[in-house]
């Protein structure tokens, strides 16, 4: 009886041992699988992070490109203000340019948008005792500018100089057709179109007051290199009061001022 009991105990103990070993093995297996899963998750998340980094850097590049495009567009930005239209040897008017004109006396015309300010300015000069003032030249059609330019060249050619020299001398004071502000209708020449004008009361008055009527001396002596035109005391261009004031404050000619506006 005792023997039988012992036998049963032995068998049970053996079974227990086997069972515990099985459990141990299972736990080790589960532990290993768990560690593997954690590793796998870590590796995958690292990979995703890397991919995301690549994506962000390409996004930044794209954004930079967009930004650059905006900046360059801003640089090329057109100044839409009609008062600031730039006409010079680098910016000629199209052949078919046709401003809306109005007569300021029997023969002379200007762009109708400046006629009022021009006549107010001349009246103010007269009111302050300057009677010796008149508009010698205002709007010129491109056709008329052609005649003026060619006549001047022919005049020079009579002195027996070369055509190149005649053209050079002519272009110092007469712009090529389409390259003159007179073709625009926004500029006038006063009195005899002569250097003596700088010694006149009228010139002094204009220097102090023309900006109040929106006019500027378009070709100052110290800006010859930029405007490409000799010092012209008699040539006054309308740009509007606020631009005239700003240009004086910045000491800029129209070419410089337009560049300044494009950048700011
Ligand atoms: Zn002029």
* Residues with a known catalytic role: 232
| Residue 61, helix vs strand vs coil | helix
Residues 81-97: what's their mean pLDDT? 91
Cα 41 to averaged position of ligand 1 atoms, centre (Å):
80
121 contacts: CB under 8 Å, gap ≥ 6:
209, 210, 212, 213, 215
Cα 137 to averaged position of ligand 1 atoms, centre (Å):
7
pTM (2 d.p.): 0.68
CA atoms within 13 A on the CB side of 17: 6
Distance CA 248, CA 263 (A): 18
If you average pLDDT over every residue of the chain, what do you get?
Answer: 86
Cα 235 to averaged position of ligand 1 atoms, centre (Å):
4
Contact yes or no for 165/200 (Cβ under 8 A): no
Q: What percent of the chain has pLDDT over 90?
A: 61
Cα 114 to averaged position of ligand 1 atoms, centre (Å):
16
Cα 141 to averaged position of ligand 1 atoms, centre (Å):
13
Name the packing angle between helices 254-263 and 241-250 (round to 10°): 90
pLDDT higher than threshold 80 for residue 249: yes
Contact yes or no for 130/201 (Cβ under 8 A): yes
Given this model, what pLDDT does residue 57 score? 55
Cα 144 to averaged position of ligand 1 atoms, centre (Å):
14
Cα 165 to averaged position of ligand 1 atoms, centre (Å):
22
Task: Quickly tell me which residue has 């000799």 as its tokens.
Answer: 230
Phi, psi dihedrals of residue 237, rounded to the nearest 5°: -115, 140
Residues 54-78: what's their mean pLDDT? 61
Summarize pLDDT for 148-196 with one digit per residue, the tens. Answer: 999 999 999 999 999 999 999 998 778 889 999 999 999 999 999 999 9
- Residue 1's pLDDT band (cuts 50, 70, 90): low
Distance CA 71, CA 171 (A): 36
Q: What percent of the chain has pLDDT over 70?
A: 81
Please state which CATH number belongs to domain 82-263. Answer: 3.30.1380.10
- Residue 252's pLDDT band (cuts 50, 70, 90): very high
Higher pLDDT, 77 or 211: 211
User: Does an H or E element contain 18, and which?
Assistant: helix 2-75
Q: In 3D, which of 211, 201, 225, 215 has the Cα closest to residue 133?
A: 201
Q: What residue segments make up the domains of the chain, in order of their start?
A: 1-76, 82-263
CA angle 165–182–109, rounded 5-degree value? 140
The DSSP code for 107 is: S
Distance CA 33, CA 45 (A): 18
pLDDT higher than threshold 80 for residue 138: yes
Write out the two tokens for 210.
């023309």
């Amino acid at each position: 009886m005792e023997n039988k009991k012992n036998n049963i105990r032995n068998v049970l103990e053996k079974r227990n041992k086997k069972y515990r070993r099985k459990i141990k093995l299972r736990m080790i297996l589960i532990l290993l699988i768990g560690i593997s899963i954690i590793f796998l998750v870590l590796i995958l998340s690292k990979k995703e992070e890397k991919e995301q980094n690549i994506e962000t850097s390409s996004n930044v590049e794209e954004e930079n490109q967009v930004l650059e495009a905006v900046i360059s567009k801003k640089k090329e930005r057109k100044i839409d203000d009609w008062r600031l239209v730039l006409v010079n040897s680098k910016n000629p008017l199209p052949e078919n340019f046709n401003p809306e004109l109005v007569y300021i006396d029997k023969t002379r015309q200007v762009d109708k948008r400046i006629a009022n300010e021009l006549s107010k300015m001349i009246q103010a000069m007269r009111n302050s005792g300057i009677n010796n003032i008149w508009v010698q030249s205002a709007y010129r059609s491109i056709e008329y500018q052609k005649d003026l330019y060619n006549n001047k060249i022919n005049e020079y050619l009579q002195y027996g100089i070369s055509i190149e020299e005649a053209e050079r001398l002519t272009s110092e004071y007469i712009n090529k057709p389409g390259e003159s502000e007179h073709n625009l209708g926004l500029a006038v020449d006063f009195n005899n179109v002569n250097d003596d004008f700088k010694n006149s009361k009228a010139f002094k008055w204009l220097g102090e007051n023309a900006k109040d009527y929106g006019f500027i001396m378009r070709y100052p002596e110290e800006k010859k290199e930029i405007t490409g035109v000799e010092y012209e005391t008699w040539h006054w261009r309308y740009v509007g009061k606020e631009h005239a004031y700003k240009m004086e404050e910045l000491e800029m000619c129209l070419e410089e001022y337009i560049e300044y506006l494009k950048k700011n």
